[in-house]
């Protein structure tokens, strides 16, 4: 998820100007319609405009900074094509911990970082969840350089989780939770990135239940670089002989679904000889899509923020997965989450599934905690979410 790097930017949300990446317009929007210096209010779709770096882009409707007062509503969740099955391929949960202790490398298992509890994962398995996205830190798996040898202890712990999940019949997503960075610096060496992925894929090439996620939430990076890093990862994975696995590719600007169709259009050019690319997007329902608040903008915001991504996937003949989503434990968010999932379910010709953010043994009282048996997100949302399992 988008980490606390943006938290201070949004602290003054009630002021006359919106912060970076905040909502600034759209049907029914009653908040501020201007942005802080260096950002402009750009149209994303009829229901959502956002403060993005630079100057405002031309819109295809009324100016995004104008308060819209029409009675238009979001497209109904049942809008779909004849090929949509209404059933997800995957539905599950993110499992955090291996990436904790940011900036403390290598760190100590049990102190700076941990790994998911396979017993609680099995609890979720018994309820139908069939995919788990497990975060790890590249700096711990391959210390010093992207082409270094593996840290055997860290790899062993990660592999034990992989084997536990996949032996149960579920899928596991290997998620280098690095935001397109290595030791805090943007990754620019595509050859080294390819080698990293070739080495990782070689360890799991025989396990078809493993899914490779190229990197978590590329952001504030050159758009062509994001394209090239994703392609390098694909090429490295296939060069390792890992040909049966799906590959989740992520986009720039935190891989946000809300702005995908205006930010990540060049990623349609990615190629895979096995034709197993799935476009992973993330979507939160608070005012800036950051996932840092229990409040959701409205009961319809889930659908409103995803419709543009759905249209992009269909227009380009691509498949997508919502790799992170969540909402606060309240009725407005629950309605928004339900609307979001119903839209995805009605459009399963392009959407393969979704994963809640997040479970993990160290979340404590975190607002979205989905760790059984007592996590806030788990106790409030499990009865709803498990109805969407395959």
State the pTM of this model: 0.83
Residue 250 is among the residues annotated as catalytic for this protein:
no
131-184 pLDDT, tens digit each: 999 999 999 999 999 999 999 999 999 999 999 999 999 999 999 999 999 999
For CA atoms 236, 219, 104, 356, the dihedral sign is negative
Please report where in the chains the tokens 């090439």 appear, as a residue: 205
Mapping DSSP to helix (H, G, I), strand (E, B) and coil, where does residue 302 land?
A: helix
Helices within 257-346 (DSSP H only): 260-263, 301-315, 331-346
Contact between 322 and 344 (Cβ < 8 Å): yes
Return the pLDDT at 53: 63
Return the pLDDT at 76: 39
Tokens coding 207? 């396990």
Return the pLDDT at 82: 40
Q: H/E element holding 235?
A: helix 223-239
Mapping DSSP to helix (H, G, I), strand (E, B) and coil, where does residue 240 land?
A: coil
Alpha-carbon gap, residue 327 to 320, rounded angstroms: 20
DSSP state letter for 81 = -
Reading across the β-sheet that carries 39-45, which strands appear in turn? 23-25, 48-53, 39-45
Q: Is the peptide bond before 277 cis (omega within 30 degrees of 0)?
A: no
Return the pLDDT at 202: 98
Mapping DSSP to helix (H, G, I), strand (E, B) and coil, where does residue 309 land?
A: helix
**Catalytic annotation, pick one of 99, 139, 324, 352:** 324
Alpha-carbon gap, residue 145 to 179, rounded angstroms: 17
Please report where in the chains the tokens 């790899």 appear, as a residue: 155
Return the pLDDT at 315: 97
Residue 371 is among the residues annotated as catalytic for this protein:
no
Mapping DSSP to helix (H, G, I), strand (E, B) and coil, where does residue 335 land?
A: helix
Written as one string, the DSSP assignment of 107-154 is --BTTTB----HHHHHHHHHTT--EEEEEE-HHHHS-SSTTSPP-HHH
Residue 186: Cβ within 10 Å count: 15
Output Rg (C-alpha) for the chain, integer angstroms.
20
CB-based contacts of 249, cutoff 8 Å, min separation 6: 214, 230, 233, 234, 267, 270, 277, 278, 279, 280
Return the pLDDT at 84: 60
**Catalytic annotation, pick one of 217, 250, 300, 352:** 217
Helices within 148-222 (DSSP H only): 152-167, 190-203
Residue 310: Cβ within 10 Å count: 24
Closest CA to 200 of 101, 134, 106: 134
Which residues in the chain come in under a pLDDT of 70? Answer: 1-16, 18-22, 27-30, 43-48, 50, 52-85
Q: H/E element holding 281?
A: strand 277-284
Closest CA to 177 of 366, 2, 326: 2
């Amino acid at each position: 998820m988008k980490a606390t790097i943006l938290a201070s930017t949004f602290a003054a949300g009630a002021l006359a100007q919106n912060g970076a990446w905040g909502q600034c317009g759209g049907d029914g929007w009653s908040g501020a319609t201007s942005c802080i210096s260096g950002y402009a209010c750009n149209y994303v779709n009829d229901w959502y405009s956002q403060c993005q770096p630079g100057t405002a882009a031309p819109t295809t409707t009324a100016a995004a900074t104008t308060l819209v007062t029409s009675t238009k509503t979001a497209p109904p969740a049942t809008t779909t094509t004849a090929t949509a099955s209404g059933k997800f391929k995957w539905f599950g949960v993110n499992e955090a911990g291996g990436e904790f202790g940011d900036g403390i490398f290598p760190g100590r298992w049990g102190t700076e970082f941990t790994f998911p509890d396979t017993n609680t994962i099995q609890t979720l398995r018994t309820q139908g969840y069939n995919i788990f996205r497990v975060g790890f830190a590249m700096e711990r798996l391959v210390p010093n350089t992207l082409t270094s040898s593996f840290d055997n202890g860290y790899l062993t712990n990660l592999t034990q989780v992989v084997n536990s999940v996949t032996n149960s019949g579920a899928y596991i997503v290997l998620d280098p939770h690095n935001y397109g960075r290595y030791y805090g610096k943007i990754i620019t060496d595509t050859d080294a990135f390819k080698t990293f992925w070739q080495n990782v894929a070689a360890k799991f090439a025989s396990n078809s239940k493993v899914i490779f996620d190229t990197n978590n939430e590329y952001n504030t990076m050159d758009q062509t670089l994001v394209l090239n890093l994703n392609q390098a990862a694909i090429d490295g994975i296939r060069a390792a002989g890992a040909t049966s696995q799906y590959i989740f590719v992520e986009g720039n600007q935190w891989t946000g679904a809300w702005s995908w169709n205006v930010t990540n259009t060049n990623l349609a050019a990615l190629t895979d000889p096995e034709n197993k690319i799935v476009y992973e997007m993330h979507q939160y329902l608070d005012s800036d899509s950051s996932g840092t608040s229990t409040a959701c903008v409205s009961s319809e915001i889930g659908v409103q923020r995803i419709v543009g991504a759905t249209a992009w996937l269909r227009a380009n003949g691509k498949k997508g997965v919502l790799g992170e989503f969540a909402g606060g434990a309240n009725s407005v968010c629950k309605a928004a989450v339900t609307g979001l999932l119903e839209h995805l379910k009605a459009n399963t010709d392009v959407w393969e599934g979704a994963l809640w953010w997040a479970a993990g043994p160290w979340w404590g009282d975190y607002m979205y905690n989905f760790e059984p048996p007592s996590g806030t997100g788990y106790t409030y949302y499990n009865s709803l979410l498990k109805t969407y399992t395959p």
